[in-house]
């Protein structure tokens, strides 16, 4: 009986390993990024996971940050985006207001060609979803935020079902060479609650609809915790956003395991068109995974109505 049970367990284990292997292939693959060009605008989104300030060792600790900060900088340089929105760029020390942001400070110190938008005094501006931009090409025109809440303009207000605060940050830019303007809305929806996700993107639609109606080019990027074809994505698409057709996994469990289709997305409305297929950068840097998500990258031509 014991021998038979062990055989059954072994068969199940082999089947699971085979399934993971197949899914890793199906939802994996990495096409090298092309060099950016002056004729296109490179937009990217990247969930970099928060740091737990009170934890010295273990997953997402200060010690773990020391391991992954170099690889994260290498990934940032490899992406070479004109604009990149981050999610979970937080050094969590308890509570909503924290003056420490190790990841933001590290990337800015090591990449002087960039500045941060969608940041400010954390008492007045939630700064854990910054949007970094290349200052030799873009000028920051405005920035703001709203929370996924019944009181969206109250900072750090809890989500619709009372869960932890979640929000959208945004920034508008002018391309200094062409004079063309655009807005980037950076969002991160609740992974655990579908109702929160639905109400969150409905609020995003309410906020972006007047901008689109006024003729603005608007990009919505971020970790939607939803796949193409899901209801959450469908609500945004119905508002006029065209989603880049991201293929394969963008979340990998911090181990390069590619089980699920993309949950990180880039979408656009207005005078912007994809210059080619989007890219998901699925690779280690300096032998390490920088975080548990892959960056998603897309090149757009501005001033080209679809």
Mean pLDDT of the chain: 92
pLDDT one-digit tens code per residue, 260-284 = 999 999 999 999 999 999 999 999 9
**In terms of Cα–Cα distance, which of 32, 30, 36 is closest to 300?**
36
For residue 26, the model assigns a pLDDT of: 60
In a domain, 21, yes or no: no
Q: Domain total for the chain?
A: 1
In a domain, 25, yes or no: no
pLDDT one-digit tens code per residue, 82-137 = 999 999 999 999 888 989 999 999 999 999 999 999 999 999 999 999 999 999 99
User: What b/e readout covers 237-249, taking b as 16+ CB neighbours within 10 angstroms?
Assistant: eebbbbbbebbbb
How many CB atoms neighbour CB 297 within 10 A?
25
In a domain, 11, yes or no: no
Instruction: Find the domain containing 82 and state its range.
Output: 42-302
pTM of the model: 0.92
pLDDT band at 27 (very low <50, low <70, confident <90, very high): confident
The CATH number linked to 240 is: 3.60.10.10
CA dist 189 and 167 (Å) reads: 8
In a domain, 15, yes or no: no
Measuring CA to CA, how many Å separate 94 from each of 29, 102, 103, 144, 157?
A: 38, 15, 17, 24, 16
In a domain, 109, yes or no: yes
In a domain, 12, yes or no: no
For residue 1, the model assigns a pLDDT of: 40
In a domain, 221, yes or no: yes
For residue 13, the model assigns a pLDDT of: 33
For residue 241, the model assigns a pLDDT of: 98
In a domain, 20, yes or no: no
DSSP string computed for 276-295: S--EE----BTTB-SSSB--
């Amino acid at each position: 009986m014991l021998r038979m049970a062990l055989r059954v367990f072994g068969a199940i284990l082999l089947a699971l390993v085979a399934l993971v292997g197949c899914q890793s292939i199906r939802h994996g693959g990495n096409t090298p990024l092309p060099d950016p060009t002056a004729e296109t605008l490179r937009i990217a989104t990247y969930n970099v996971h928060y740091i737990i300030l009170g934890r010295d060792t273990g997953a997402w600790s200060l010690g773990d940050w020391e391991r992954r900060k170099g690889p994260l900088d290498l990934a940032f340089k490899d992406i070479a985006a004109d604009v990149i929105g981050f999610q979970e760029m937080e050094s969590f020390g308890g509570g909503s207001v924290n003056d420490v942001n190790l990841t933001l400070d590290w990337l800015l110190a090591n990449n002087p060609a960039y500045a941060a938008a969608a940041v400010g005094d954390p008492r007045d501006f939630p700064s854990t979803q910054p949007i970094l931009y290349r200052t030799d090409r873009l000028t920051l025109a405005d920035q703001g935020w709203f929370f996924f809440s019944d009181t969206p303009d109250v900072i750090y207000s809890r989500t619709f079902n009372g869960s932890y605060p979640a929000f959208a940050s945004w920034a508008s830019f002018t391309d200094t060479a062409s004079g063309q303007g655009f807005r980037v809305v950076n969002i991160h929806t609740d992974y655990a609650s579908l109702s929160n996700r639905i109400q969150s993107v409905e609020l995003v639609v309410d906020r972006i609809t007047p901008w689109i109606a006024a003729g603005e080019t608007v990009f919505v990027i971020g970790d939607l915790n939803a796949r193409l074809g899901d209801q959450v994505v469908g609500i945004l698409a119905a508002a006029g956003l065209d989603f880049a057709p991201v293929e394969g996994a963008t979340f990998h469990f911090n181990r390069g395991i590619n089980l699920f289709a993309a949950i990180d997305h880039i979408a656009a409305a207005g005078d912007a068109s994809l210059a080619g297929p989007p890219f998901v950068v699925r690779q280690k840097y300096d032998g390490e995974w920088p975080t548990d998500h892959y960056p998603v990258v897309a090149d757009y031509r501005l001033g080209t109505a679809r």
